[in-house]
Structure formats: C-alpha cells, structure tokens
Amino acid sequence: MAAYTKNKSGYYRASIVTGYTADGKQKRETIRSKSLTEFKEKLKAAENLHEQGYDFDAKNITVGEWADKWLETYKKPHVRQGTYNSYEIDIRVHIKPALGHYKIIDVKPFNLQEFLNGFKGESTSHVQKLHLCISQIFKRAYIEGIIVKDVSMGLILPDSVAGERRPFTAAEQTAIKKVAETHRAGLWVLTMLYAGLRPEETISLMWSDIDFTKGNESITVRRAAEWISNKAEIKKPKKKEKKQGKEAERTIPISAELAERLRIEKHRGLYVFPPAESDGMMSRTNKIRMWDSFHRAVDIEMGAELYRNKIVTHVFDATITPYYLRHTCCTNWFEMGLDLKTVQYLMGHADIKTTANIYTHFMERSLDKAGDIIRGNFNTRGQTGDKVETFI
C-alpha cells in the first residue's frame, strides 16, 4: 500500500502514479478520507484498478459519451452507411435515454439486463441488434481500460417475436400478377418475384446487367444500393467481397416472358427502374411510395374493405414488405426441384444456413400438402372404390 499522511483538517491522503503525459510528467490519482478504514479501502481499490490497467482519466465518462466516441471511432470508418445509421439510431433512441447518464464504471450487469428486459415481446432481430450494440460498446470499453470488467458478458435475451417472412399463397401470387399487368410498379415487383433480387439490387440494376439473348435470358447482379439521407448510392463492398472480386456477382436465369417484358420496357438512362421524375436511382421515399401503392392495389384486388377510399379491413397483410417477393421466389425454386447449393448461389446468400432456413419452411409446407393429398386419395378410394394413383 502506498504511503499516506494525515493533514491538519483530519483527512488521510495518498496519491498513486497512474501514467505519464506526452512530455513525460507523472499522472497521479489522489485518495482522501477522514475515516482511516474507508481511506484504506479506497486506496486499495485504486491500486487494484491501476494494476488491472484502468484508465483513471476516463473515470467520469458516461455511457452516452463513450457510446458516441465508440460509434465515431470504431464503426463509422469501417462499416457501410446503412449499418452505421442502424447503430446510431439504437444509441440515440434507446441506449442513451436509458443508460446514457450513468458513469460507465458504475454500470452493473443488472443495469444492462434490465435495459434488455424492457424489449420483451418485441422483434427478435431488433433485440439481437441492441444486444450486439451494447456488447460491443462495453467490450471495447474493457479493452481500452475504461472499465475493469466487461459487464455485458452473460446477458440473457428476453422473449421476443420472430418476424419470419413467408412465401405468398397461390391466391396472393395470382393477385400480385394481375395487378402487375397494369400497375406502374408491376415490372419492378415481378423482377423480385421471379429473379429473387433484393430491393436494393433492383434499385441499382442497369440495362447492361440483363442478357436478352434467346435461350440465355438472365440478370447478373453486380451491385446494390443503399440510401444515405434518402438518396440512393452504390453500396461499397464489404472487405470479404473486395477479396472475392467478381465472385461476389451472381447470374440468375430468367424466363423468356420476364425477359420480353423487360426488353420492351421504355429505357430511360442507365437504370432499369428509375423514379418517374429522373433517370437516376430511386430514393428511399420513391421506393416506399412505389411499394405502398402496389400493396394497396393488391389489397383491393383481393377484396379489402374500403370506407371513403381508405382501407379499413385488410385482406393482403399490411405488414408485408418487398422481401416477401424474394422469399417466395426462393420457395418456388425449391418447388421446381433446384438443390440447396444452387438456390444459395441464385439468392446470393453468404451463409447456406439462411437458404436452409427457407428450405425448412418449404419442407414443412410440402409435408402438409403431402398429408392432404394422401388423405384425399384414401378418402376418394373409400368413397368411390376407384383405383387411385399413388406416389410409390
């Protein structure tokens, strides 16, 4: 234990060297208390912190201050704009209001667990993203010596709701195709439905990416867009994509019918699906309005109840997004008999687990159909006595 003194005011006092400035001067942390017992406890605690590499200069930094610094230093230069925006929103909207005022050294695992528990019953993906965000913030604080223990370790995720996408039903697909015949967003929607493109891949799709050669009709996906302040920009490739180069591209065969509809579409500039007012890429607002308009038209086509031109009872689920088109395409490919690895390539899934998850849903649906068919066969045989063809 460091040497200490007692001053005229009755305070026990000691200081320990905690580091050095750029010009070689010592940095010191002073410990003082009128109670000798309390003083010794504080001094021992300070010495232990110093031995563990604690940064005493950061002793007053709050969670909010560190989260902002972490975001700008460790995320902004290294992640895509969309990923950065996601982190920024979670920090500003959720983490700082609940935890931002705490000194980061005072935060206990209980505080973080209580924070996560507040999102019980919400989207699984959102809960997981918040958990990832706070885990990275506190892990980096531990590495930097701002805290002496990573208090985010061992947190338990609360019960949440998995917002799983599903393929469209036959009735929904019929309505989508019918509306697509006349709606201005029709060809955009059909391209996602039949080629499995992500919405951000359709935004940056160029005419030069489409091969109209008879018998070789295809779309090559070479880029994707992201929205920065509502404006679409070409997404920068991740580091692993940079190493892969053209391996990150994928070529998707398309039907002659889809190719013909694309071929006869009016060409305005480089992009296949520009907004009405320009020949560039659709803004986020353009994309949202296009989908909302198409969704409404399908809802009405399927029999939605209207009151003063406003839908009051939906038939076409209001939560459906353009990604359901891609999910349906994937499922349809499985129904056509394509194998898992081929579908993974066509979908552009980096992890085959993502493709396999959709395949599991497809198998569950197929088993349900098989049960209906088999039971239907037996019922027919029992009722009519006619011979019925089987699958064996």
- Residue ranges per domain, the chain? 5-51, 63-143, 170-347
| Cα–Cα distance for residue pair 151/66, rounded to 1 Å | 15
Q: What's the CATH superfamily of 170-347?
A: Intergrase catalytic core (1.10.443.10)
| pLDDT value of residue 384 | 41
| pLDDT value of residue 392 | 32
- The number of angstroms, rounded, from the C-alpha of 58 to the middle of its chain's C-alpha atoms is 32
| pLDDT value of residue 198 | 93
Q: Return the beta strands (E) in the chain as ranges.
A: 5-6, 12-20, 26-33, 210-211, 218-221, 225-228, 231-234, 250-253, 305-307, 310-313
Instruction: Please tell me the number of Cα atoms within 13 Å of 256 on its side-chain side.
Output: 3
Q: Where does residue 203 rank: exposed (0-12), middle (13-18), buried (19+ CB within 10 A)?
A: buried
- Over the chain (392 residues), what is each successive 10-residue block's mean pLDDT? 76 76 75 79 71 66 93 90 88 94 93 94 88 95 84 92 79 96 96 95 96 95 89 73 59 95 92 92 94 96 93 91 93 90 92 83 73 59 41 32
Q: Look up residue 154 and give its two tokens.
A: 């061992």
Query: How much is the pTM?
Result: 0.65
| Cα–Cα distance for residue pair 346/324, rounded to 1 Å | 16
Inter-axis angle of helices 284-301 and 170-180, nearest 10: 120
| Cα–Cα distance for residue pair 355/349, rounded to 1 Å | 7
| pLDDT value of residue 105 | 87
CATH class (in words) of the domain with range 63-143: mainly alpha
| pLDDT value of residue 6 | 81
Length of the chain: 392
| pLDDT value of residue 383 | 43
| pLDDT value of residue 389 | 40
* H-run or E-run covering 347: helix 340-347
Please give the single-letter amino acid code of residue 68: D
Please give the single-letter amino acid code of residue 305: E
Beta bridge partners of 17: 28
- Strands in 210-211's sheet, in edge-to-edge order, are 210-211, 218-221, 250-253
Instruction: Please tell me the number of Cα atoms within 13 Å of 109 on its side-chain side.
Output: 10
